């Protein structure tokens, strides 16, 4: 059975990589198979780990067990969730605003205070914190701290559109572009590393697991 | 010649890349690898934990990114089992992470003779990402009443003394998406949970600001991070093997970028 699995995986891998030559029916078959299986798997898992424990079981228990009558409260979010399907009717489509409003309200309430703390306050503190212990930093660390402040100020200047980008503002924003380019270059290099990793793993599988199982 | 280079068939480049990947696999070799500071920080943090501590690993990657993240999971778990640290596996972002997590946990456990339920447990996936993270901060059992194979959490020995994040020494997020931000925003900021990340190369650049501020205690970066950690625990594995081959491919790509740029500028100069 394991050998069969290896053969299926190897053939599908080759089907996918055949796209590197040109688009072809083998590639499309493997692509459609992947999409179909992924959607099917996600639906089953969502039913088992989402619908059954959070919707079906509480109501079933409320019906069968007198001590679990509070489970009927689950009907409120279920009904609210069902309003998402109102979008399918042009006359009742406005009803979708209620679940969206609730979701937006809850998400904003949970997210905004924590996100401000995580991505604004902590980052600002991290940018200026090295200056509070400048006496104990090495020359390399001091250079890094200075570069970081220059990078933050110049990059923010580039995205500051309330002032015309002329004179010193223009120079600052140009330096900001340079920092952005370095950032994008780093991200691109790391992306290449990630894609190469995928290729290496697949080639390793084909050579060691598949061809290795034949000979 | 430069005109030919500019119009080279991309399939020739694919063949070169394939050769550079295949040949090192047939004739293995080893390149020197220096351990970076973010990897060292994670290693030092875990190494300093006393035996009996518990770390949680959030497996937030799918089949399309497991070659980078799975070696990290294996290396960190080997280190934990060697030190007597217990491991809880969860998944909050990718449904399809659970079979991958199960596979790597079983492999490492078999190698280190770790016992399921006593040394490690896989709780599985629950939908709702940030709500799962927040819910576990209050009480893990409120989100995970059973493990991934439907065994009640009350019947799992190592979960008896674990209520919430107060008993978790570290959360390691192995991620291919934005789940690290979620863990930092809700796990670290709200519950002061110590967070480390092992991420794919695609998103590692976004992680450095969190490392610099101390919101992450350590960071593993793609194949390289896995290879470095394997070096620290003296157990070369898929990360070490991968980074050697990847280094050659990177050299090829750098060479192609340089040649492409030279050809582009020479051709433009001739046209002018």
Measure Cα distances from B181 to B76, B184, B207 in Å. Answer: 21, 5, 9
Token pair of B12 as six digits: 């020739």
Closest in B18, B22, B201 to A190, CB measured:
B201
For residue B233, what are the contacts with CB-CB under 8 A and spacing of at least 6? B43, B75, B78, B79, B82
Query: B201 and A42 in contact by Cβ < 8 A?
Result: no
Q: Which residue has the higher pLDDT, B87 or A130?
A: B87
Tokens 């190369």 — which residue? Answer: B201
Closest in B184, B205, B209 to A186, CB measured:
B205
| Least confident interval from A80-89, A122-131, B151-160, B237-246 | B237-246
Answer whether residue B243 shows pLDDT above 90.
Answer: no
Query: A123 and B130 in contact by Cβ < 8 A?
Result: no
Q: Provide the pLDDT for residue B258.
A: 92
Q: Provide the pLDDT for residue A60.
A: 93
Query: B25 and A204 in contact by Cβ < 8 A?
Result: yes
Q: Which band of pLDDT confidence, cut at 50, 70 and 90, is reported for residue A25? A: very high
Answer whether residue A49 shows pLDDT above 80.
Answer: no
Measured CB to CB, residues of chain A less than 8 Å from chain B are 20-21, 38, 41-42, 45-46, 49-50, 53, 110-111, 114-115, 117-119, 122-123, 125-126, 129, 148, 183, 186-187, 189-194, 196-204, 207-208
Answer whether residue B24 shows pLDDT above 90.
Answer: no
Q: Provide the pLDDT for residue A10.
A: 95
**Can you tell me the distance from the alpha carbon of A133 to that of A150, in angstroms, rounded to the nearest whole number?**
18
Closest residue of chain B to A118, computed from CA coordinates? B185
Chain A contacts in chain B segment 102-161 (CB below 8 A)? 124-127, 130, 134, 145
- Chain A residues whose CB is inside 8 A of the B145 CB are 53
Mean pLDDT on B3-30: 87
Which of A40, A186, A193 is the mutation pick for testing B, counting most B CBs within 10 A?
A: A193
Q: Which residue has the higher pLDDT, A194 or A124?
A: A124
Q: Provide the pLDDT for residue A104.
A: 93
- Whether residue B179 lies within 8 A of chain A, CB to CB, comes out as no
**Can you tell me the distance from the alpha carbon of B155 to that of B21, in angstroms, rounded to the nearest whole number?**
47
The candidate with the shortest Cα–Cα distance to A153, out of A113, A114, A145, A141, is A145
Q: Provide the pLDDT for residue B64.
A: 84
Answer whether residue A1 shows pLDDT above 80.
Answer: no
- Whether residue B212 lies within 8 A of chain A, CB to CB, comes out as yes
Q: Provide the pLDDT for residue B255.
A: 93
Let me know if A195 is exposed, middle or buried by CB neighbors in 10 A (0-12, 13-18, 19+): middle
Closest in A20, A191, A197 to B242, CB measured:
A197
Positions of E strands within A94-164: none
Which of A17, A103, A194, A198 is the mutation pick for testing B, counting most B CBs within 10 A?
A: A194
All structural domains of chain A with their residue ranges: 137-215
Task: Provide the mean pLDDT of chain B.
Answer: 92
Is the separation of the CB atoms in B4 and B217 below 8 Å? no
Q: Provide the pLDDT for residue A85.
A: 93
**Can you tell me the distance from the alpha carbon of B262 to that of B256, in angstroms, rounded to the nearest whole number?**
10
Mean pLDDT on B212-224: 92
Answer whether residue A68 shows pLDDT above 90.
Answer: no
Query: B189 and A194 in contact by Cβ < 8 A?
Result: no
Measure Cα distances from B158 to A116, B87, B120 in Å. Answer: 36, 9, 8
- Chain A residues whose CB is inside 8 A of the B11 CB are 20-21
**Can you tell me the distance from the alpha carbon of A159 to that of B229, in angstroms, rounded to the nearest whole number?**
39
Query: A111 and B130 in contact by Cβ < 8 A?
Result: yes
Mean pLDDT on B236-258: 89
Task: Provide the mean pLDDT of chain A.
Answer: 91
Gap from A124 CA to chain B (nearest CA, Å): 9
Record the pTM. Answer: 0.87
Q: Provide the pLDDT for residue B96.
A: 82
- Chain B residues whose CB is inside 8 A of the A42 CB are 95-96
The candidate with the shortest Cα–Cα distance to B204, out of B17, B39, B3, B46, is B39
**Can you tell me the distance from the alpha carbon of B57 to that of B218, in angstroms, rounded to the nearest whole number?**
14
Chain A contacts in chain B segment 52-71 (CB below 8 A)? 64-68
- Chain B residues whose CB is inside 8 A of the A118 CB are 181, 184-185, 188-189, 215
Mean pLDDT on B245-251: 90
Closest in A114, A126, A187 to B212, CB measured:
A126
Give one DSSP letter per residue of B132-155, joined into a string: HHHHHHH-HHHH-SB-TT--BGGG
Answer whether residue A16 shows pLDDT above 90.
Answer: yes
Q: Provide the pLDDT for residue A98.
A: 94
Closest in A45, A194, A208 to B222, CB measured:
A194
**Can you tell me the distance from the alpha carbon of A6 to that of A3, in angstroms, rounded to the nearest whole number?**
5
Q: Which band of pLDDT confidence, cut at 50, 70 and 90, is reported for residue B229? A: very high
**Can you tell me the distance from the alpha carbon of B13 to that of B253, in angstroms, rounded to the nearest whole number?**
9
pLDDT tens digits, B120-178: 999 998 888 889 999 999 999 999 989 988 899 999 999 999 999 999 999 999 999 88
Query: B201 and A192 in contact by Cβ < 8 A?
Result: yes
| Least confident interval from A41-55, A177-191, B130-144 | A41-55
pLDDT tens digits, B65-83: 888 899 999 999 999 999 9
Q: Which band of pLDDT confidence, cut at 50, 70 and 90, is reported for residue B2? A: confident
Model ipTM over 0.85: no
Is the separation of the CB atoms in B255 and B17 below 8 Å? no
Q: Give the phi and the psi of residue B146 in degrees, each rounded to 5.
A: -150, 165
- Chain B residues whose CB is inside 8 A of the A38 CB are 96
pLDDT tens digits, A135-157: 888 999 899 999 999 999 999 99
Q: Which fold has domain B34-240?
A: Rossmann fold (3.40.50)
Q: Which band of pLDDT confidence, cut at 50, 70 and 90, is reported for residue A7? A: very high
Answer whether residue B102 shows pLDDT above 80.
Answer: yes
Q: Provide the pLDDT for residue B232.
A: 96
């Amino acid at each position: 059975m394991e050998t069969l699995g290896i053969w299926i995986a190897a053939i599908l891998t080759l089907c996918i990589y055949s796209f590197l030559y040109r688009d072809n029916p083998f590639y499309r078959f493997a692509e459609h198979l992947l999409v179909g299986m992924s959607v099917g798997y996600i639906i089953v898992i969502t039913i088992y780990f989402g619908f059954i424990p959070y919707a079906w079981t509480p109501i079933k228990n409320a019906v069968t067990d007198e001590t679990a009558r509070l489970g009927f409260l689950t009907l409120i979010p279920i009904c609210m969730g069902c309003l998402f399907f109102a979008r399918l009717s042009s006359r009742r489509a406005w009803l979708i605003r209620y679940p969206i409003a609730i979701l937006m309200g809850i998400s904003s309430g949970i997210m905004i205070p924590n996100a401000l703390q995580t991505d604004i306050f902590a980052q600002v503190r991290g940018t200026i914190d090295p200056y509070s212990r400048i006496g104990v930093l090495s020359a390399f660390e001091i250079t890094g701290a200075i570069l970081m402040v220059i990078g933050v100020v110049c990059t923010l200047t580039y995205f500051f559109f309330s002032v015309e980008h002329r004179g010193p503002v223009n120079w600052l924003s140009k330096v900001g572009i340079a920092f952005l380019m370095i950032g994008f270059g780093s991200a691109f290099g790391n992306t290449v590393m990630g894609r190469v990793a995928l290729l290496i793993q697949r080639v390793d599988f084909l050579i060691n697991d598949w061809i290795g199982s034949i000979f | 010649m430069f005109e030919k280079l500019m119009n080279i068939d991309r399939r020739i480049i694919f063949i070169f890349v394939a050769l550079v990947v295949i040949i090192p696999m047939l004739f293995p070799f080893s390149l020197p690898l220096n351990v970076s500071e973010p990897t060292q920080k994670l290693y030092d943090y875990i190494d300093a934990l006393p035996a009996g501590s518990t770390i949680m690993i959030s497996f937030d990657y799918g089949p399309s990114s497991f070659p980078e993240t799975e070696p990290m999971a294996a290396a960190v778990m080997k280190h934990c089992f060697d030190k007597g640290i217990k491991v809880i596996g969860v998944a909050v972002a990718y449904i399809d992470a659970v079979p991958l997590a199960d596979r790597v946990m079983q492999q490492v456990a078999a190698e280190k003779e770790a016992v399921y339920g006593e040394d490690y447990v896989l709780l599985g996936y629950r939908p709702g990402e940030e709500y799962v993270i927040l819910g576990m901060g209050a009480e893990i059992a409120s989100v995970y009443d059973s493990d991934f194979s439907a065994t009640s959490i009350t019947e799992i020995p190592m979960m008896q003394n674990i209520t919430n994040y107060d008993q978790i020494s570290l959360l390691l997020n192995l991620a291919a998406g934005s789940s690290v931000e979620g863990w930092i925003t809700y796990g670290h900021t709200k519950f002061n949970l110590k967070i480390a990340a092992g991420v794919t190369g695609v998103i590692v650049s976004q992680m450095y600001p969190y490392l610099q501020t101390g919101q992450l205690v350590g960071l593993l970066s793609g194949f390289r991070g896995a290879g470095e950690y394997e070096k620290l625990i003296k157990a070369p594995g898929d990360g070490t093997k991968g980074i050697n081959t990847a280094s050659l491919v990177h050299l090829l790509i750098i060479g192609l970028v340089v040649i492409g740029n030279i050809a582009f500028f020479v051709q433009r100069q001739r046209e002018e």
